[in-house]
């Protein structure tokens, strides 16, 4: 009689090296953009095209009061509608993005 056992499995554990929290760079860069010269003061939303540099990056845009519902724009170009609640929007660079360009197509008012 022969006993059959599955072959032995070997595991190697690895631990990623991390930097202490005080030496880590900021996770994302957030920029405040004044949109008052592109949209009227009574606009409640705007349709925009965002071009992201490099094309593999992404940009998140949100307005004061709507921080909980940002709009994600993936590179190289994305068209979407954002809510507007004042003369500024916040642009956050994600996924290795180093720059962006915003083109305002149209807007809605109440």
Residue 27 backbone zone (phi > 0: left; psi -120 to 50: alpha; other: beta)? alpha
Q: What is the pLDDT of residues 74-90, one digit of tens each?
A: 989 999 999 998 899 99
Q: What is the pLDDT of residues 30-53, one digit of tens each?
A: 899 999 998 999 999 999 999 999
Yes or no: say if 36 and 100 are a contact pair by the CB < 8 Å rule.
no
Q: CATH number for 27-108: choose from 1.10.3470, 2.60.40, 2.60.120, 3.30.1490.
A: 2.60.120
Model pTM?
Answer: 0.71
| Interatomic CA distance for residues 100 and 54, integer angstroms | 9
């Amino acid at each position: 009689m022969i006993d059959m056992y599955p072959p032995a499995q070997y595991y190697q554990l690895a631990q990623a090296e991390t930097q202490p929290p005080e030496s880590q760079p900021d996770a994302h860069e957030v920029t405040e953009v004044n949109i008052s010269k592109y949209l009227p003061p009574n606009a409640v939303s705007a349709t925009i095209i965002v071009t992201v540099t490099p094309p593999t990056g992404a940009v998140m845009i949100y307005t004061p009061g709507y921080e909980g519902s940002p709009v994600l724009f993936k590179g190289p170009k994305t068209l979407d509608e954002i809510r507007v609640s004042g003369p500024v929007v916040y642009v956050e660079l994600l996924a290795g993005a180093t720059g962006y360009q915003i083109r305002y197509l149209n807007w809605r008012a109440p």
